[in-house]
Structure 1
Amino acid sequence: MALGFYLPSQAQNPIIRAVFTADPAPLVYRDTLFLYTGHDTASVKETNYKMPDWRIYSTTDMVHWKDYGVRLSPRTFAWATGDAYAAQCVYRNGKFYWFVATFHKKDENSQGGSAIGVAVSDRPTGPFKDAIGKALIVNEMTKDLPHSWDDIDPTVFIDDDKQAYMYWGNGSCKWVKLKDNMTELTSPITTFKPKNYIEGPWLYKRKKLYYLVYASAGTKPEMIEYCTAPTATGPWTYRGIIQENVPNSFTTHPGIIDYKGKSYFFYHNGTLPTGGSYRRSICVDEMHYNADGTIQPIVQTTKGVAPVK
């Protein structure tokens, strides 16, 4: 697909309108914000997901988005099969590591089920390749839940001491430390369940406080709730709901980033024409903190965010 710009006359939500996108994961590199997304291709009549690949967009003003098209798919991984679930790309030591959730073929390494892989590139837009030739996490490594799709939605955070952590999970939240090479585990897997947790964790640090934000049950699925902690591994204190249900989609997914002096909250809903729970679209609104570090409720808008320079 050729590169192109989406040029609205002013900011608006959803921000990506040419295709259906979901599961936003923002990354700031130098002066550019890159957005890594899923891609919904189910028809209007279908009642299940079709997510064949992952896409990349970028912006320098939060209004105009450059479209790099499809940059990775489960077919990149010889061991993988099925759909492209939520993913996140992080930068370390001159390389970009794209942690992805998909499903594993039945072979000598796994009997199937959800799995997490890692792709790597020298550039934020690729090309990306399988970093290790096998899955980083397979279904057999986590036994706390019986369903086969619990190992999805990785979020990766690199702390000030350079220790990397990966959180993930559907039904329960899991975490593990990663080695400096970002492709090996260096601790046992720990499992826990924050209040109302469903899936889609997003881990980050602001000032001296660590945040674990996730898609939750709330009063009905899915809302966004969060916890805070003094370290990247807890103990986590529940802080409440920050985003209510989104229009026309029973799922949502957080992606949080600071860029050019403002904080932004990315999510998806189903508000594009012919959109819905299996044809979702990414939005972004400003995010604000109270003096004690707690997050103010997210105000969902159709106007979107103001441009920045």
Structure 2
Amino acid sequence: MSKIYLFLSLFLLLSQLGLTQNPILKKGEEGFLYAADPAAEVYNGKVYVYCSHDVDNAVNYSTMQDYLVLESDDLVNWKNHGVVLKPREYDWADGQMNAPDVAYKDGWYYFYFPYNKTHIGVAKSRTPVGPWEEAVTDKITTIFDPTVFIDDDGQAYIFGSDTKQDIGDKGRHIMGAKLKDNMLELDGPWMRLSEETVAEAVHCFKRNEKYYFMARKGWSTSYWMADSPLPTEPYAEYKGIITKRQIDAPTHMSAIEFKGQWYYFYQRGDVNNGSFWRRSACFEKLEFNDDGTVVPIEYTLNEGIKINKPISPIK
């Protein structure tokens, strides 16, 4: 009994400290799914992580066809809602369905999902977890790995990379565009935002009036900083690499502030008997130096989230 008491006391202590263990979902748990491409959002005091879904026997990404959501109010205890959106039920959406994102505006949650890899469809719901209904009957634009950001003034932006299809300048760059108030149409052309090329997985967030862009460059996550959400003259300033080289899965990330602390969500394929095509969502604390630059991120597993010490960013 004393061992059980000690275990329970330790568990409660870790919960109070806000520590967790990666990955978020663990193989063997009821309802386990491979949750990839985590797009974390904060709604109504809770964290919702919208993920693409790798099937158990995946040997490539062609079997990606639906989406799931995870929910937590403390980042320790997670509710797995399972698959909540199956876009192939819409007669206009088919093909490979990779990384999604969700944004909230005027009473609606908008679920942006790619089909045929780069065609962007949209579903909507009155709640963060659904049920979801068609918001459009065709693609709203073409981009790879869409992410949507709403600024403090209510203006919405969509970002991605032209990895699979050139939009404007040839090459793979961070791309951005305004969205109209209806959240379903572009309000102007796509604009190139980075001098440097990227592979995929663009993400944008704002902190202390600075705009941060993250993307996969090589086998790591790189980031850029800018004074505006569409930095075209000049482009966003490249700041360097902030994660180790990761070859078990392509880096795909998002970042949120929750209860005064920033967090970095990502995926890995070296857990849950996974692989490059069977990935699991994880997260770490995200720290910043005094000048706003990002502290390099240390991946953790099983021992809980570590607090990084401020050091100079990796170049």
TM-score clears 0.5? yes
Instruction: List alignment gaps of at least 5 residues for structure 2.
Output: 1-10, 15-19, 27-31, 164-171, 307-315
- Name the stretch that deviates more: 94-103 or 113-122: 113-122
Confirm or deny: 8 A CA contact 2:263 2:284 kept in the other structure: yes
State the partner residue of 1:115.
Answer: 119
Q: How does 1:21-60 map to 2 (within 5 A)?
A: 21-41=35-55, 43=57, 46-60=59-73
Distance 1:42 1:172, change over 3 A: farther
- The 3-state SS of whatever aligns with 1:15 is coil
What do residues 162-218 of structure 1 show as CA deviations (whole Å, max 9, x unaligned)?
21110112233321110111011111122354424111110111011001111111x
Distance 1:231 1:288, change over 3 A: same
State the partner residue of 1:228.
Answer: 225
Structure index of larger Rg: 2
Larger relative contact order (CA 8 Å, sep ≥ 6): 1
Count of residues in correspondence between the two structures:
271
Confirm or deny: 8 A CA contact 1:97 1:119 kept in the other structure: yes
Matched, 1:71 2:70: no
Confirm or deny: 8 A CA contact 1:63 1:305 kept in the other structure: no
Distance 1:152 1:167, change over 3 A: same
Structure with the largest fraction of helix: 2
- The 3-state SS of whatever aligns with 1:75 is helix
Confirm or deny: 8 A CA contact 1:283 1:304 kept in the other structure: no
Displacement of 1:253 in angstroms is: 0.4
Q: TM-score, normalised by structure 1?
A: 0.83
- Name the stretch that deviates more: 17-26 or 167-176: 167-176
Instruction: List alignment gaps of at least 5 residues for structure 1.
Output: 1-8, 104-112, 139-150
Matched, 1:81 2:90: no
Q: Distance in 2 between matches of 1:215 and 1:277?
A: 15
Confirm or deny: 8 A CA contact 1:76 1:130 kept in the other structure: no
Residue of 124, 131, 153 corresponding to 1:127: 131
Distance 1:185 1:196, change over 3 A: closer
State the partner residue of 1:183.
Answer: 184
Matched, 1:204 2:194: no
Q: Distance in 2 between matches of 1:209 and 1:33?
A: 23
After the TM superposition, list the runs of 4 or more consecutive aligned residues in structure 1 that deviate by more than 3 angstroms. Answer: 191-194
Q: Distance in 2 between matches of 1:266 and 1:83?
A: 22
